[in-house]
Amino acid sequence: MFGHNRRDESQAPGIAPDDIPEGFDRAAFAAGCFWGVEEFFRAIPGVADAISGYEGGFVDHPTYEQVCTGSTGHAEAVLVTFDPSRVSFGALLEEFWRHHDPTTLNRQGPDRGTQYRSAVFTHDDAQEKAARASLDEYQARFKRPIVTEVTPATTFWPAEEYHQRFTERTGRGGCHVANW
């Protein structure tokens, strides 16, 4: 719905944190491999779009190969565009916590590296407040400390086209299982 066409995938345009379609809101989450994260967010009623990409780094127009080295500072992330009259940011946070292990630093399942870290990239003060409150609430459910970063959103760089809707297109399973 809100995808981006691009000729040279390595030069995909970034999406600024305040670039939000009218009537919608945006949220960005990192929870390991973006294929599974994109898949579970797409399934939520009220989510209009979910785009796999890179956020939280310091290199413009990063490629998958660059991000995989861990040298760009980016996390594999998913930018979720949602209708706040149908699904709340709080409900998205609940799904985020449920679908990955927020207590493992720079790792989800077999995937290791800073690009697989757990993070919520907040788009405004209300999201930051809600994310921190949710983190505190969920901490009581885990035996180990939650290591999820809650940080202001930066430019979101859409991943290469072959990463978009990966599990839907290929039939290969996602990278995540629910925590309960």
Alpha carbons 72 and 77: distance in angstroms, whole number: 14
Any catalytic annotation for residue 68? no
SS3 content of the chain, % helix, strand, coil (to 5): 30, 25, 50
User: How many other β-carbons are positioned within 10 Å of the β-carbon of residue 26?
Assistant: 25
Candidate list 27, 30, 31, 33, residue with the active-site label: 33
Catalytic residue list:
33
